[in-house]
Structure formats: structure tokens, C-alpha cells
Amino acid sequence: MASGSSGGSERATGLTFTEHIAEQQHRLSPAARGDLTNLLLHIMMAAKIIGRETRKAALVDILGLTGRTNVQGEEVQKLDDYADEIMIRNLRYTGHLCVMASEEHEDVIQIPERYAIGDYALTFDPLDGSSNIDANVSIGTIFSVQRRVSDGPSGTVADVLQRGKNQVCAGYVIYGPSTILVYTTGHGVHGFTLDPSVGEFLLSHPDIRTPEEGKIYSVNEGNASRWDEPTRRLIEAFKSEANYRKKPYTARYIGSLVADFHRNLLYGGIFLYPADSKSPSGKLRLLPEANPLAFVVENAGGLATTGTQRILDVEPRRLHHRVPLIIGSRKDVEFAESFYQT
Ligand code: AFP
């Protein structure tokens, strides 16, 4: 790790994810029943299974397309289906959720009647960056937890259609050279690396603080001809000396949001998926992608904006609401925002 503040001697403390969240609960909410803690343990379990399958995918020939499209009109990969199913199966019976929403489903996913209903709603992208699967590029699962707001015997779409600032927990798991889980409950951002020899996530990145400014800009420049004028001028500024650092930035773009985000979180930098003439509202989804990463980055000292509005303040209008996303180091995001103010 280069410049993020969580590194060096603080790394590899040996504390397991399970111990860490139990300790956090004891320290921050001693009277809590442990529902959120338990929910996180189930998410961790699902992530372990998805991680295992992504690793052996090529071997068991489950790579490749299913040949159909999801509600976003995108091709669905077999592993997307698998990850989606694992998340649902491992979380619906926990008794902690009232409803779920997945990027892969048009409507919310109800908890079957035979299981207890809980106080939380979960939104997730089961396998983000999945178009990269066949090239063995890092992919990930993103999750966001909201407190239930509906009454009645089961949860409703209102439980997930909440502003990002109401999130009680958010995070992601990257399936890369190692499997890394990063989460926040609003009290620091903590990263854990899966030790396959014991099957445990060990605290490797305690209290991550993202650098105030970075050297990296991450954007799909193949879309440049569709960008509006502020975006064009902004990216030119990052590529030249016409930015507040007076030095050109380095370009890094994987096309797998979790991987691009995680790298910039640790090294410092800015990721942008702006609106363009093909996607006038942006491409990325507010609920399963922008909100959880915005919650993580803000808790690590960074910022996330649409260009004109803080991501966590955006009122979701529908489950698959899309937003322009500009996210990363505080000074870089503030610099970007200045281009959209006029
Ligand atoms: P896939 O899950 O279809 O690969 O989409 C990935 C994604 O939602 C996000 O992870 C990337 O940042 C973004 O799309 C990449 O989009 P472009 O390919 O248009 O750059």
C-alpha cells in the first residue's frame, strides 16, 4: 500500500473480522442485540462462497454468458446469477432483514413467509464488474444496509429507497489476487484480507483514511465524444498542469468499479463516471453502487458527488435510479465539482 494512512506496522494485526465487529459492537453500542453484527457475519459468509466460486470458475466451466439480459439490458454472466443466488440464500433466513434489493432484480426481493422479518433492508450488487470475469480481472460484491422504515408484516420498496446518508452499514468485497472485505458502520473504514489457510478474514487495513489528494484519475475516456463541456474541460485539466496540483495526473481505469474504487481509496485519486449523451443520468446505480461506496469514502475522509449534489443526499426515485458519480480524494472531488457549478 502506498499512501493511504492504514499501513505499515498496523497491518496484519491478526484480529479476525468476527472478533473485530464483536468488539466494535461492544464499544459503540453495548446495549445492541447484535443483529447488525450477525447480518455482517452472514454477508461475510456469502462473500467467502462467492470468492471460492470465482476462483474455481474457469475450472468448473461456469464462465461465460447465460445468453440472456438483466433488467439493465446487460448480458448476464453465469457467475452473476450464482453470486445473486448465494447472497439471497445466505441472507433471507437470518431474521435480520425485512426486504432485499439486488442489481439483478427488477423488484425488491421479499423474505419468504417461513422466515422471521428483521429491522434492516439490504441492497447489493452481487458481482460488480462481471464483464471482466473471463479476463480474470478483479470483481466484487457491494452491499448497503438501511434501517427498516415501513410498518406491516413484510418490508417494502420504501425500506431500500432511502437516501444514502441513512445507511447504517456499507461495504464491498473484492475478489482479486486476495479477497478483501472493506466495511464501515460510520465509525471508521476497516479492511480485512481473507487468509485462505484458515478461512478467516483478518484485519489488514484498520481505520483506512484516503489521502486528501491523489495523483490518479479514473474515467472511461472512450466516452469522451459524448461528454458535456464541463467534463471535457475537467479531464483535460487532470491531463495537463491546469489543475490545483499543477501536475498531470496518471490515468488508471479497470472498468470494474470496486477495483478502481479500492485502488484510489488506498492510493488517493478520483474516479468519474459522468453523465454523457448516451447515459444522460450516468451509468452507475445509486442504490447498489454509488451510495455504499460514497458512505465508505466519506467515512475515510473523501467525498462523492454527482457534480452538483452530494451522493448521500440524492433522493432515490426508483430501485434502478442511476447517477453521475465522481468519487475519491477530497481535494480532487472538490476540484471536479468546481467545473459543474456554473
Ligand atoms: P459490469 O458489471 O457489466 O462489468 O459493469 C461494471 C460497471 O457497472 C462498473 O463496475 C464499472 O465501473 C463500469 O460498469 C464500467 O463501465 P464502462 O465499461 O462503460 O466503462
User: Which is more confidently placed, 9 or 270?
Assistant: 270
For residues 125-144, give the mean pLDDT.
91
Q: Which residues contact 29 (CB under 8 A, 6 or more apart)?
A: none
For residues 112-119, give the mean pLDDT.
96
For residues 223-252, give the mean pLDDT.
98
DSSP state of 38: H
Pocket flag, ligand 1, residue 128 (CB < 6 Å)? yes
Question: Percent of the chain at pLDDT above 70?
Answer: 91
Q: Which residues contact 34 (CB under 8 A, 6 or more apart)?
A: 25
pLDDT, residue 6, reads: 47
pLDDT, residue 11, reads: 45
pLDDT band at 1 (very low <50, low <70, confident <90, very high): very low
Asked whether residue 75 carries a pLDDT value surpassing 70, the answer given is: no
pTM: 0.92
Q: Specify the DSSP element, H or E, that contains 40.
A: helix 35-56
Q: Specify the DSSP element, H or E, that contains 271.
A: strand 270-273
User: Which is more confidently placed, 277 or 52?
Assistant: 277
Burial group, residue 133, by CB count within 10 angstroms (0-12, 13-18, 19+): buried
For residues 123-136, give the mean pLDDT.
90
pLDDT, residue 61, reads: 59
Nearest ligand 1 atom, CA 128? 2
Asked whether residue 58 carries a pLDDT value surpassing 90, the answer given is: no
Question: Percent of the chain at pLDDT above 90?
Answer: 79
pLDDT band at 73 (very low <50, low <70, confident <90, very high): confident
Pocket flag, ligand 1, residue 129 (CB < 6 Å)? yes
Pocket flag, ligand 1, residue 225 (CB < 6 Å)? no
Q: Which residues contact 89 (CB under 8 A, 6 or more apart)?
A: none
Asked whether residue 9 carries a pLDDT value surpassing 80, the answer given is: no
Q: What is the pLDDT of residues 273-295, one digit of tens each?
A: 999 999 999 999 999 999 999 99
- Across the chain, what does the average pLDDT equal? 91
Asked whether residue 312 carries a pLDDT value surpassing 60, the answer given is: yes
Pocket flag, ligand 1, residue 131 (CB < 6 Å)? yes
pLDDT band at 7 (very low <50, low <70, confident <90, very high): very low
Cα 226 to middle of ligand 1, angstroms: 17
Pocket test for ligand 1, best of 128, 219, 226 (most atoms within 8 A of CB): 128
Contact 231, 339 (CB under 8 A): yes
